[in-house]
Chain A
Amino acid sequence: MKAAASRPNLVVVGSGMVGQAFVEECVENGLSAVYRIIVVGEEPRAAYDRVHLSEYIGERSAEELAIVAPDWYAQHDIELRTDVRVDAIDRSLAKLTLSDETCLEYARLILATGSYPFVPPIDGKDGPGRFVYRTLEDLDAMRAFAGSCERGVVIGGGLLGLEAANALRNLGLKADVVEFAPHLMATQLDPGGGQMLGELIAELGVGIYTSKATERIESDDDGPTRLVFADGESLATDMVVFSAGIRPRDELARDCGLELGERGGIVIDDACMTNDPLIYAIGEVALWQGRIFGLVGPGYAMAAAAAAHLAAEPEPRFAGADMSTELKLLGVDVASFGDAHARTEGARILCYRDEVARVYRRVVVSGDGSRLIGGTLVGDTHDYRPLLMKMRSQIDITNASAALALPAGLDRAGTDEGGVGDLPATAQVCSCNNVDKAALVAAIDGGAHDVASIKSATRAGTGCGGCAPMIGGLLSARLQELGHEVDQGLCEHFELNRQQLEDAIRAGEIRDFPTLLERCGRGGSGCEICKPVAASIFASTWNDHVLDPALVGLQDTNDRFLANLQKDGTYSVIPRVPAGEITPQQLMTIARVAEEYDLYTKITGGQRIDMFGARVDQLPDIWRALTDAGFESGHAYGKAVRTVKSCVGSTWCRFGVQDSVGLAVRIEERYKGIRAPHKLKLAVSGCTRECAEAQGKDVGIIATENGYNLYVCGNGGMRPRHADLLAVDLDEATLIRYVDRFLAFYIRTADRLQRTSVWLENLEGGLDYLRKVVVDDYLGIADELEAHLQSLVGSYRCEWKQTLEDPDKLALFRTFVNDDATDPAPLYVRERGQRRPLFEAEKV
């Protein structure tokens, strides 16, 4: 310890996100053994996640926002002094004066003091009910005051201002935003984008006042009463939040004569060193090549550079940072990248503005039109990453710039279903067989003009089959490029696509495949593509039993045996466990069945239990035992409603605001078994912590203090997609109505094997259009959609129960039509106490 005592002091001023990152770098590169590290922070606690500060309003606690464990400092022999401010730096003595009237010597000094919110010098800016938005204490104060308020206003319509407005809403207030500039988010967005954002946010009930200079804040004893603007107009309010920009906290540096920028900020070089070689500055307080970086990412890069320089390592150095961002503000998607404001000399602009679907898109290209150099997207940011990639890789876009300006799904509709057009040639499309895009394109160019021949030429799509939609998308895109006419039909037997077939079946009241083939087909007898599609449409239109004689031949093997086919030809069994709620008795039933038939048992990712290794001839007996105990089919085998995942919710959880399990049970009971173009997964979370992961589901419901927020079109799996917020604070009846409409609309219009996520991405008009149809009944079909869904709900029967009651259907479950023997082929070993099939190499 003697050596330790004599270590020179490395003092960090500011325990913010970047200061903390710096200390962690020091632990990693060994500097903490060389120096005695002391962190002095003015806030009452160690660094926390300021980026997610707003979630503190959403009931995330201070502990949950912490980014360091309480004992971390002790563990690493680092001293943390909180609630203490550094008041002065004496550079000649290399000494600090602290607000607790102690002094501290330093060998090296790191200034990580961040920034403070700028409050414009408005008459009446001080007093109760005025807030800034930077620290946990700021939010505590806002929360305490908001209790007695009805409406709040944010002065400043930048990124943070909009976050603050959302916080006001979450506190239950009517929120308004006042912005001096003519449009919102002026730093990131051009005027057109800012205006579209304003319109979208205004639709959510937030008042947007742009081009408004606030002259004074009037108040009474309780706090503010109204804002008065320079143009004489005024706005009533009960509280005011200032979010008019941030300023570097460079006062310490200024007082001790460190070099500052003209408009503030401590000047640093690539090693983050100031003009005093003993002092470094990092994070939002630092000014590099005339720029301040108001994001945490560049701050982290600075922390790494400073720590490396102190450790005499040559790398990394700070090299600036790209400020491209993609955000969701009050549920609106916004992205800005590169030279969004077209400041590059000669830059040219292409702009797309859709006031119907409310999508705005502007791309900035170099003067000669050959390079993408920036852009903004509002309302739909799906193309953000591909565009960013095109910009960063400097791809030649000569002649392609017009297409870049158009959202996917417009002129490119149908040609790029899987979104592969934007991928680079080296992107792996089929992960099972490691086939990249270039190989697929080569196969198509070499004459493979349908999916089957691409499969045999490249093996792509012959594994799990998950990449098939991408292969299909790539195929039609490439064929079009090559000047071929692309057949948009379902398969060689139908010229129509799924949606058109659905219309034909409904309008023509067609109930069997031969009739469908005769009326709509183009010859032949059908195949493994069109038959299951027809079966699916019949099921979601007429809801007859899938094993009825006219339908059984159309079913894929899973539907044909009402179980999931495994690789050895046996099946797995998943009873429905609505919302994941299960009694000990039910567990015992499952245990008994699994034991009797020696079924391998595991918990699924969907909150229920799967039993594997059942032979077709065993399925009816297994299901008899299960249905006798009250279980129903889980439809795990169908392109159908699967599970409604739930979290435990307000019944037990100390944070839950609604009974999420109860609602999930009701929802699963309502929609169970409904067949659709693809499987459907739902979830209900009891509060904003989202333990049920509802935003990864086709339909996600998150409880709020006032009801439920409805999210749609989320997806896990191959191409995960965050769900979009469709409507907020719904009561249960309205929620169900919207979900009914949503599901029916999807069932009627989606393509074959198209999850809701891809469906939405291809839906012209996107989310806004969907909202218009579902919420505003813009097409006037809401009643019809609800009636359709209700008819499916009304005609639900457990299809296993019905099968067990019907000898003709049971006859379908024999292994051999002419013999009671069973298939001797599957061979098993026991592993971890259960049975599993032999791997190929284990078979002798």
Chain B
Amino acid sequence: MSINNGTARCEQWQYVCAIQAIPESAGVAALVAGTQLAIFRVGERVYALDNYDPFSGANVISRGIVGDRAGTPKVASPVYKQSFSLENGACLDDEAVQLRVWAVRTVNGAVEVFA
């Protein structure tokens, strides 16, 4: 699926944290296979995107406010407030910009990312 930081790895589901470690309707940053991810929890659902904000160049997406625009779940960058779809990483304010999305699941309260 992807090769990160030039280090070839065998992709697999990797444990990140317990779901309670992510505040409800908010995010945390995680370091998975050398890549910074932003992991969000909305109710029972969990999403994982790049933590890198292409507009500011800072690793901050996990610190954005979570919500929805017209029903699409999204996060707004804390720096300049562009919104990104949690489902597919598309920037809702600029068609040309896209964050990567990572497969993520919860197994018995454990959050795992496929990376």
Residues of chain A having any CB pair with chain B under 8 Å? 452, 455-456, 462-463, 465, 492-493, 513, 524-528, 530-532, 549, 552-557, 560-561, 565, 567-569, 811-812, 814-819, 821, 823, 825-826, 840
Query: In the complex, what's the smallest C-beta–C-beta distance from A554 to chain B, in angstroms?
Result: 8
Q: Mark B73-115, 1 if CB is under 8 A from A, else 0.
A: 1101011110100000000111000000000000000000000
Which residue of B22, B29, B68, B92 is within 8 Å of A526 (Cβ)? Answer: B68
Cα distance A455–B79 in the bound complex, in angstroms: 15
- Chain A-chain B contacts (Cβ-Cβ < 8 Å), number: 112
**CB atoms of B29 and A840 under 8 A apart:** no
Contact partners of B64 in chain A: CB under 8 A: 528, 557
Cα distance A463–B82 in the bound complex, in angstroms: 11
Contact partners of B28 in chain A: CB under 8 A: 814, 816-817
**CB atoms of B23 and A553 under 8 A apart:** yes
Contact partners of B16 in chain A: CB under 8 A: 817-818
* Residues of B43-81 whose CB lies within 8 A of A: 56-60, 63-71, 73-74, 76, 78-81
Sample (29) of A-B pairs whose CB atoms are under 8 Å apart: A455-B93, A465-B80, A493-B67, A524-B71, A525-B66, A526-B25, A528-B64, A528-B76, A528-B81, A528-B83, A531-B67, A549-B23, A553-B25, A553-B26, A554-B65, A556-B65, A557-B60, A565-B63, A569-B60, A569-B79, A814-B28, A816-B28, A816-B29, A816-B36, A817-B16, A817-B29, A817-B39, A818-B30, A821-B31
**CB atoms of B59 and A823 under 8 A apart:** yes
Query: B3 at interface (Cβ–Cβ under 8 A)?
Result: no
Q: Taking CB as reference atom, which chain B residue is nearest A555?
A: B65
Contact partners of A532 in chain B: CB under 8 A: 65
Query: In the complex, what's the smallest C-beta–C-beta distance from A822 to chain B, in angstroms?
Result: 10
**CB atoms of B30 and A560 under 8 A apart:** no
Contact partners of A549 in chain B: CB under 8 A: 23-24
**CB atoms of B80 and A462 under 8 A apart:** yes
Cα distance A455–B83 in the bound complex, in angstroms: 12
Query: In the complex, what's the smallest C-beta–C-beta distance from A766 to chain B, in angstroms?
Result: 33
Knowing A569-B58, A818-B32, A825-B58, say if A452 contacts B79 (CB, 8 Å): no
Cα distance A513–B71 in the bound complex, in angstroms: 17
**CB atoms of A525 and B29 under 8 A apart:** no
17 further A-B contacts with Cβ under 8 Å, apart from A525-B42, A549-B24, are A452-B93, A465-B80, A492-B70, A524-B67, A524-B68, A525-B73, A527-B69, A528-B64, A528-B76, A528-B83, A552-B26, A556-B65, A557-B64, A568-B57, A817-B22, A823-B36, A823-B59
Knowing A492-B69, A528-B65, A816-B29, say if A567 contacts B23 (CB, 8 Å): no
Contact partners of A821 in chain B: CB under 8 A: 31
Cα distance A513–B70 in the bound complex, in angstroms: 18
The 8 A-B residue pairs whose C-beta atoms are closest, nearest first, are A569-B58, A557-B78, A527-B67, A553-B26, A528-B76, A528-B65, A817-B28, A553-B25
Query: In the complex, what's the smallest C-beta–C-beta distance from A744 to chain B, in angstroms?
Result: 27
Contact partners of B24 in chain A: CB under 8 A: 549, 553
Cα distance A555–B27 in the bound complex, in angstroms: 12
**CB atoms of B39 and A525 under 8 A apart:** no
Contact partners of A817 in chain B: CB under 8 A: 16-17, 21-22, 28-30, 39
Contact partners of A465 in chain B: CB under 8 A: 80-81
**CB atoms of B76 and A527 under 8 A apart:** yes
* Residues of B2-28 whose CB lies within 8 A of A: 15-17, 21-26, 28
Which residue of A452, A456, A525 is within 8 Å of B25 (Cβ)? Answer: A525
Cα distance A740–B61 in the bound complex, in angstroms: 39
Cα distance A531–B24 in the bound complex, in angstroms: 13
Cα distance A819–B17 in the bound complex, in angstroms: 10
Cα distance A120–B32 in the bound complex, in angstroms: 91
Contact partners of B81 in chain A: CB under 8 A: 465, 528
Which residue of B21, B59, B83, B93 is within 8 Å of A569 (Cβ)? Answer: B59
Interface residues on B, range: 35 or more
Contact partners of B56 in chain A: CB under 8 A: 567, 569
Contact partners of B39 in chain A: CB under 8 A: 817
Query: In the complex, what's the smallest C-beta–C-beta distance from B92 to chain A, in angstroms?
Result: 8
**CB atoms of A567 and B30 under 8 A apart:** no
Contact partners of A556 in chain B: CB under 8 A: 65, 78
B29, B70, B74, B83, most chain A CB atoms within 10 A? B29
A462, A525, A569, most chain B CB atoms within 10 A? A569
Contact partners of A525 in chain B: CB under 8 A: 25, 42, 66-68, 73
**CB atoms of A527 and B30 under 8 A apart:** no
Contact partners of A560 in chain B: CB under 8 A: 63
Q: Taking CB as reference atom, which chain B residue is nearest A524?
A: B68
**CB atoms of B69 and A812 under 8 A apart:** no
Cα distance A815–B51 in the bound complex, in angstroms: 11
Contact partners of A811 in chain B: CB under 8 A: 21
Q: Taking CB as reference atom, which chain B residue is nearest A823?
A: B59
Query: In the complex, what's the smallest C-beta–C-beta distance from A839 to chain B, in angstroms?
Result: 11
**CB atoms of B93 and A456 under 8 A apart:** yes
Q: Taking CB as reference atom, which chain A residue is nearest B65?
A: A528
Query: In the complex, what's the smallest C-beta–C-beta distance from B94 to chain A, in angstroms?
Result: 6
Query: In the complex, what's the smallest C-beta–C-beta distance from A267 to chain B, in angstroms?
Result: 64
Q: Taking CB as reference atom, which chain B residue is nearest A567?
A: B56
Q: Taking CB as reference atom, which chain A residue is nearest B74?
A: A527
**CB atoms of B68 and A812 under 8 A apart:** no
Which residue of B74, B79, B93 is within 8 Å of A567 (Cβ)? Answer: B79
Contact partners of A819 in chain B: CB under 8 A: 30-31
**CB atoms of A815 and B29 under 8 A apart:** yes
Cα distance A817–B64 in the bound complex, in angstroms: 16
Query: In the complex, what's the smallest C-beta–C-beta distance from B76 to chain A, in angstroms?
Result: 4
Knowing A456-B93, A818-B17, A825-B59, say if A528 contacts B30 (CB, 8 Å): no
Cα distance A555–B76 in the bound complex, in angstroms: 12
**CB atoms of A561 and B29 under 8 A apart:** no
**CB atoms of A557 and B29 under 8 A apart:** no
Cα distance A465–B31 in the bound complex, in angstroms: 31
Q: Taking CB as reference atom, which chain B residue is nearest A826?
A: B58
Contact partners of A552 in chain B: CB under 8 A: 23, 26
Contact partners of A526 in chain B: CB under 8 A: 25, 67-68
Contact partners of A513 in chain B: CB under 8 A: 25
Query: In the complex, what's the smallest C-beta–C-beta distance from B102 to chain A, in angstroms?
Result: 14
Contact partners of A554 in chain B: CB under 8 A: 65
Cα distance A553–B27 in the bound complex, in angstroms: 8
Which residue of A456, A530, A818, A825 is within 8 Å of B31 (Cβ)? Answer: A818
Knowing A567-B79, A825-B59, say if A553 contacts B30 (CB, 8 Å): no
Cα distance A704–B15 in the bound complex, in angstroms: 67
Cα distance A567–B64 in the bound complex, in angstroms: 14
Cα distance A511–B33 in the bound complex, in angstroms: 40
Q: Taking CB as reference atom, which chain A residue is nearest B95?
A: A456
Q: Taking CB as reference atom, which chain B residue is nearest A464?
A: B80
Contact partners of B76 in chain A: CB under 8 A: 527-528
Query: In the complex, what's the smallest C-beta–C-beta distance from B59 to chain A, in angstroms?
Result: 5
Query: In the complex, what's the smallest C-beta–C-beta distance from A542 to chain B, in angstroms?
Result: 19
Query: In the complex, what's the smallest C-beta–C-beta distance from B4 to chain A, in angstroms?
Result: 14
Q: Taking CB as reference atom, which chain A residue is nearest B63?
A: A557
Cα distance A825–B74 in the bound complex, in angstroms: 24
Q: Taking CB as reference atom, which chain B residue is nearest A814?
A: B28
Query: In the complex, what's the smallest C-beta–C-beta distance from A181 to chain B, in angstroms?
Result: 58
B39, B65, B66, most chain A CB atoms within 10 A? B65
Cα distance A492–B69 in the bound complex, in angstroms: 8
Cα distance A549–B94 in the bound complex, in angstroms: 33
Contact partners of B32 in chain A: CB under 8 A: 818
Query: In the complex, what's the smallest C-beta–C-beta distance from B97 to chain A, in angstroms?
Result: 11
Contact partners of B26 in chain A: CB under 8 A: 552-553
Query: In the complex, what's the smallest C-beta–C-beta distance from A460 to chain B, in angstroms?
Result: 13
Cα distance A310–B79 in the bound complex, in angstroms: 61
B67, B71, B81, most chain A CB atoms within 10 A? B67
Query: In the complex, what's the smallest C-beta–C-beta distance from A295 to chain B, in angstroms?
Result: 48
Query: In the complex, what's the smallest C-beta–C-beta distance from B34 to chain A, in angstroms?
Result: 10
**CB atoms of B21 and A527 under 8 A apart:** no
Contact partners of B21 in chain A: CB under 8 A: 811, 817
Cα distance A456–B95 in the bound complex, in angstroms: 10
